[in-house]
Amino acid sequence: ISLFPDLKTVIDIGGQDSKVIKLKDGKPIDFLMNDKCAAGTGRFLEVMARAMEINLEQFAPIFIKTNDKVDITSTCTVFAESEIVSLIGQGIDKNKIIKGLIYSIADKITSMVERVGLDEPVCMTGGVAKNLGVVKALEENLEIKINIPDEPQITGALGAAYLAQNLR
């Protein structure tokens, strides 16, 4: 909250889970978490990058420069990985697959945001916030500008330390 004082919605996408937190006066009033599967998390991106034999850091630049996408229909990481291997086997352009993968994450998170309700301003935290492709896809889906802290992967830890310090 101290990074973005008027914050109303937090989208947090880490390696293991994704969360949407709705705030009022800096306090959580609604919360939704996907922790049942890896779809919509950093782990999903890591698995897909490995399956495609492409460095994960290349995903964002590929997303930005690629115009077309291939829809990824599987929401489960295991099935999506099989789908990608099949698409590559069919000769589908890997760049289009990557764009489709990023949109599949953005679509999943967009659905979570819609269930909680979107109020601006919005901030995105977690390591996935460092992937500009995911940020851009979410901004497009939600038709908003998303604020990103300088070190989004440690924002939660910084917040916890700040709160602990103020408990003294």
Q: pTM to 2 decimals?
A: 0.92
Mean pLDDT per 10-residue interval, the chain, length 168 residues: 84 93 94 82 92 95 96 87 94 96 95 96 96 98 97 90 83
Nearest CA among 84, 87, 74 for reference residue 37: 74
Instruction: Provide the pLDDT for residue 39.
Output: 76
Residues 6+ positions from 49 with CB-CB distance below 8 Å: 55, 56, 59
| Domain boundaries defined on the chain | 9-166
Residues 6+ positions from 137 with CB-CB distance below 8 Å: 63, 102, 103, 105, 106
Q: Does the domain made of 9-166 have the CATH classification 3.30.420.40?
A: yes
Instruction: Provide the pLDDT for residue 40.
Output: 79
Instruction: Provide the pLDDT for residue 2.
Output: 67
- In whole angstroms, what is the distance from residue 21 CA to residue 41 CA? 16
Residues, the chain:
168
In sequence order, what DSSP letters do the residues of 16-36 get, joined into one string?
Answer: S-EEEEEEETTEEEEEEEE-S
